[in-house]
Structure 1
Amino acid sequence: MNDAISPSRYQLAEIGALLAEPARAAMLLALIDGTARPAGELARAAGVGAATASAHLKRLLEGGLLAVQEQGRHRYYRLADDDVAALIETLAAPRARPVLPDPTGGDRPLRMARTCYRHLAGRLGVSLCDALLQQGYLHTASEGMRLQDDGAHALVKAGLDAARVQALLPLAGRGCLDWTERRLHLGGPLGVSLTDALLDAGWLRRRAGSRALQPSDDGLRRLIALGMRWESGH
């Protein structure tokens, strides 16, 4: 393994130290939906004061887990990238046991469909990724998952806007391990853009106050038409 690109034991220990502080962990979890939030909102999520929150945010920025966006006098914090989101989702999942507890705490909508950073996750995300791969609409290569021409045609035929689908073709996706299903859903830039297209088309809807997503009846029919397997009892 190339030492220039692989993390050292000290870098790994630093990431562990950043995640080991409950207040910092709470801030990261508050950003797992891909939003950008001000320091005051993150302080409330973590249950700490402004000065303490500022110190924690500085550590997370220096550690490469957060990025900051400035708009005038305001600063908004977000996860640095999709890799950080995948790391947090994976570490937040319970370790394998003979009988696994429900990692969503019994939140069925969250388990069914949700955003992981900004892409579709949960049973719906896993089922859609499975279907796209099985139909040959997605191809896995060294640079990641790519939407094929046949897949683009199928998405347009199912009802997605042709221009939006065309914009998906240059994008690379990645398999992201789903923390409730323990199988892969589609992440990366392709996963984010496809999820945005599904939301804009009304196939998916956001649930207020949650990162859970709700498929519309029409959207579910169209996803099933793409080859997705779905049982009404899900």
Structure 2
Amino acid sequence: MREGPDIATLAAAIGDTARAGMLDALMSGLALSAGELAREAGITPPTASTHLAHLRDLGIVVMAVQGRHRYFRLAGAPVAEAIESLMGTAARLGRLRTRPGPRDAALRRARICYDHLAGKAGTDLFDTLASAAHLAFGPDGLVLTPSGFGAFAAEGVDVAGLDTRSRPVCRACLDWSERRDHLAGALGAAVLRMVVARDWARREPDSRAIGFTPNGQRLWSGFLDRLAQPAGNIAAVRSTG
């Protein structure tokens, strides 16, 4: 018998069409009920409950009980990152579903991917940081340079204080709609929290799309302009975590 991680069981669980649809819905970062997930997957609530029990047994989702209601969410950032990587790989290989509708353009402009920005807003952020040499690729992956630490500190983002116990400070992830990298990791999550806290953008109802207000778009553009300043010191430092 071979030793090592059993990826076949996890792949089979994620690969089921209905379960994949529910996991995609949970990439919104919200806790959803079995009924809501059933509608997302196009299946009946009892069938959804069976699927969710299987995902819980494997540690892919967790359940929270609030009164008579039960809500489900992804079991943390590592699970979300694995699903996000699969989504990016599927996009790169041309394995895309066709979902025409009025929200498509909004999702491509800016959306929430578990806990960070994706879509054009996310890739614009990544491109800005890379062009200014605030990001660099080291032996262990993507790292924030000293100038990057300084740039975010100037914007009030405490990079040193980020919770990196289960994830790196920054991580590049291929965006399925833009086919370019967006910024994930603890720093990507911190940027999304900042955008929401400052009311630059708001989540659209019943959607992963996040819409920038006119003033918020102006402030976001100014934020990117400031981050675009060239790095004075491009020596990379390893991110913690």
Please tell me the TM-score bracket, short chain as reference.
Answer: 0.7 to 0.9
1: CA distance, partners of 2:109 / 2:70: 33
**2:203 maps to what in 1?**
206
**2:79 maps to what in 1?**
84
1:140, CA displacement in angstroms? 3.9
Which of 60, 63, 67 aligns to 2:58? It is 63
2: CA distance, partners of 1:20 / 1:102: 14
**1:33 maps to what in 2?**
28
Distance 1:203 1:41, change over 3 A: same
1: CA distance, partners of 2:44 / 2:98: 29
Distance 1:105 1:156, change over 3 A: farther
**2:184 maps to what in 1?**
187
Letter in 1 for 2:161: A
Whether the aligned pair in 2 keeps the contact of 1:66 and 1:77 (CA below 8 Å) is: yes
2: CA distance, partners of 1:50 / 1:104: 23
Figure out how many residues of one structure are paired with residues of the other and give that number. Answer: 217
1: CA distance, partners of 2:179 / 2:34: 33
1: CA distance, partners of 2:48 / 2:97: 31
Whether the aligned pair in 1 keeps the contact of 2:159 and 2:187 (CA below 8 Å) is: no
1:35, CA displacement in angstroms? 1.0
Letter in 1 for 2:21: A
Identity %: 40
1:143, CA displacement in angstroms? 5.1
2: CA distance, partners of 1:101 / 1:185: 18
Letter in 1 for 2:41: A
- SS of match in other structure, 2:54: helix
Alignment of 1:167 onto 2:161: yes
Give the superposed CA RMSD. 3.2
**2:105 maps to what in 1?**
108
- SS of match in other structure, 1:35: coil
**1:223 maps to what in 2?**
224
What are the superposed Cα offsets for residues 79-109 of structure 1, whole Å, 9 maximum, x if unpaired? 1233433443454444535xx9896647222
1:138, CA displacement in angstroms? 3.1
**1:124 maps to what in 2?**
121
Letter in 2 for 1:31: L
Distance 1:59 1:174, change over 3 A: same
Q: TM-score, normalised by structure 1?
A: 0.75
Q: TM-score, normalised by structure 2?
A: 0.73
1: CA distance, partners of 2:195 / 2:113: 15
**Larger RCO (alpha carbons 8 Å, 6+ apart):** 2
2: CA distance, partners of 1:152 / 1:207: 31
2: CA distance, partners of 1:94 / 1:153: 34
- SS of match in other structure, 1:115: strand
